[in-house]
């Protein structure tokens, strides 16, 4: 059994990240598995040293440990950055490119698609244009089955780097991840990554067990977001929040009774049914209100 924490250093960690990380950690430790810290740092425009430091600071503050992956920012750059795995992503791209019809070039700008809404299914504008692949300013999309809710999604960006869907599935296969805990907002990503794994003939990824948990919302009913710095863990810490408040919340949410104020106490109290009950496949997609 192996799982991973996969933060992105493009913003400050928020309470939703903490929830996901704690559940992942507890599930991995309960099942006697190995936990990987994978920092998704491909987006160099948005990666900032303070955001990288924020990840390590907050994992430490929460008392979570991991078995593989970087121990500090220098370790990330030297050994674990996704940029070190670019050959793997490029090999996957070549494999997809060699598959007739799997990918197509797309010249649509973000602005052109914006009127459909950021989360809308791509309307397939470039699907049958037959644009040559590799032209500057174009990206590559995976030609998804027409009945796939995800629509045709980007696998390679116009900046020359893999898109999240491709990098994530390549990494999960590479590290032989067996369990993935993620928020319900990533259900479409799961569908896209399963399509890619099938297209790439992966052995491990099709057997991954997913736990999609409901999203956390604040008292105003809003989803927590990286763009909302006031709700970051670091801001909450400055206001005096203690990890014990977060552990009490997590324990209450996953149906653990008794006093739980630390990672160790949570681990002692959970069993596998707690995780099953959290999965939206069982409990529905009802959001989890945060109430400290
Ligand atoms: Zn297009």
For residue 10, the CA-to-ligand 1 centroid distance in Å is 26
Residues 156 and 196 in one domain: no
For residue 120, the CA-to-ligand 1 centroid distance in Å is 14
Residues 271 and 256 in one domain: yes
170 falls within a domain? no
Residues 281 and 184 in one domain: yes
Domain boundary among 117, 138, 164: 164
Residues 192 and 274 in one domain: yes
Mean pLDDT for the chain? 93
| CA distances to 55, 109, 135, 160, 162 from 157, in Å | 25, 11, 12, 6, 6
Instruction: Give the pair of three-digit tokens for residue 39.
Output: 């920092």
pTM: 0.94
For residue 167, the CA-to-ligand 1 centroid distance in Å is 21
C-alpha of 17 from chain center: 10
Q: What's the pLDDT band for 130 if we cut at 50, 70, 90?
A: very high
**φ, ψ dihedrals at 37, nearest 5°:** -95, 115
169 falls within a domain? no
Residue 118 has pLDDT above 60, yes or no: no
> Among 280, 263, 284, 281, which Cα is nearest to 30's?
263
Domain boundary among 141, 164, 187: 164
Sign of CA dihedral 193, 199, 202, 208: positive
Q: How many domains does the chain have?
A: 2
For residue 263, the CA-to-ligand 1 centroid distance in Å is 46
Beta strand pairing call for 209-213 and 216-217: unpaired
Instruction: Tell me the per-residue pLDDT of 181-217, one tens digit each, with 9 for 90 and over.
Output: 999 999 999 999 999 999 999 999 999 999 999 998 8
Other beta carbons within 10 angstroms of residue 115's beta carbon come to: 7
Q: Tell me which of 5-14, 108-117, 123-132, 215-224 is least confident.
A: 108-117
Q: What is the pLDDT, as a whole number, of residue 95? A: 98
Residues 188 and 119 in one domain: no
Q: Summarize the confidence of residues 148-157 as an average pLDDT.
A: 90
CATH number for 74: 3.40.50.620
Residue 144 has pLDDT above 80, yes or no: yes
Q: What is the pLDDT, as a whole number, of residue 220? A: 78
Q: What's the pLDDT band for 77 if we cut at 50, 70, 90?
A: very high
Residues 185 and 207 in one domain: yes
Residues 191 and 285 in one domain: yes
- For 157, the domain range is 90-164
Q: Summarize the confidence of residues 4-24 as an average pLDDT.
A: 96
Q: Would you say 51 and 10 are in contact if contact means Cβ atoms under 8 Å apart?
A: yes
Residues 264 and 127 in one domain: no
Farthest-apart Cα atoms in the chain, separation: 61
For residue 108, the CA-to-ligand 1 centroid distance in Å is 4
* Residue 101 exposed, middle or buried by CB count within 10 Å (0-12, 13-18, 19+): exposed
27 falls within a domain? yes
Residue 147 has pLDDT above 90, yes or no: no
Q: Would you say 193 and 162 are in contact if contact means Cβ atoms under 8 Å apart?
A: no
Helix (H, G, I), strand (E, B) or coil at 75: helix
79 falls within a domain? yes
Residue 227 has pLDDT above 90, yes or no: no
173 falls within a domain? no
For residue 195, the CA-to-ligand 1 centroid distance in Å is 20
Q: 92 or 121, which is more confident?
A: 92
For residue 27, the CA-to-ligand 1 centroid distance in Å is 40
82: left (phi > 0), else alpha (psi -120 to 50), else beta? alpha
For residue 141, the CA-to-ligand 1 centroid distance in Å is 9
Residues 201 and 219 in one domain: yes
Residue 229 has pLDDT above 70, yes or no: no
Residues 187 and 270 in one domain: yes
Q: What's the pLDDT band for 99 if we cut at 50, 70, 90?
A: very high
Domain boundary among 114, 133, 164: 164
Which helix (H) or strand (E) element contains residue 197? Answer: helix 187-199
Residues 116 and 143 in one domain: yes
């Amino acid at each position: 059994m192996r799982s991973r924490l996969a933060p992105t250093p493009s913003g400050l960690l928020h309470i939703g990240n903490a929830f996901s990380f704690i559940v992942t950690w507890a599930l991995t430790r309960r099942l006697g598995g190995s936990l990987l810290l994978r920092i998704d740092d491909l987006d160099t425009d948005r990666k900032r040293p303070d955001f990288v430091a924020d990840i390590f600071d907050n994992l430490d503050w929460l008392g979570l440990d991991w078995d593989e992956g970087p121990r500090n920012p220098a370790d990330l750059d030297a050994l674990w950055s996704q940029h070190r795995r670019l050959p793997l992503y490029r090999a996957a791209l070549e494999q997809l490119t060699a598959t007739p019809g799997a990918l197509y070039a797309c010249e649509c700008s973000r602005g052109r698609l914006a009127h459909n809404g950021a989360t809308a299914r791509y309307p397939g504008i470039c699907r049958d244009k037959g644009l040559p692949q590799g032209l500057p300013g174009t990206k590559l999309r995976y030609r998804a089955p027409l009945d796939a809710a995800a629509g045709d999604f980007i696998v390679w960006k116009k900046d020359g780097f893999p898109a999240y869907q491709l990098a994530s599935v390549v990494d999960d296969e590479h590290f032989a991840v067996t369990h993935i805990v993620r928020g319900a907002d990533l259900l479409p990503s799961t569908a896209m990554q399963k399509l890619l794994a099938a297209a790439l003939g992966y052995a491990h990824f099709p057997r991954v067990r997913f736990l999609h948990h409901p999203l956390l919302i604040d008292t105003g009913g809003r989803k927590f977001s990286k763009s909302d710095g006031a709700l970051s863990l670091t801001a909450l810490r400055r206001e005096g929040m203690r990890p014990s408040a977060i552990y009490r919340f997590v324990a209450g949410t996953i149906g653990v009774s008794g006093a739980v104020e630390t990672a160790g106490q949570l681990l002692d109290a959970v069993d596998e049914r707690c995780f099953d009950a959290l999965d939206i496949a069982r409990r529905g997609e009802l959001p989890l209100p945060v109430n400290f």
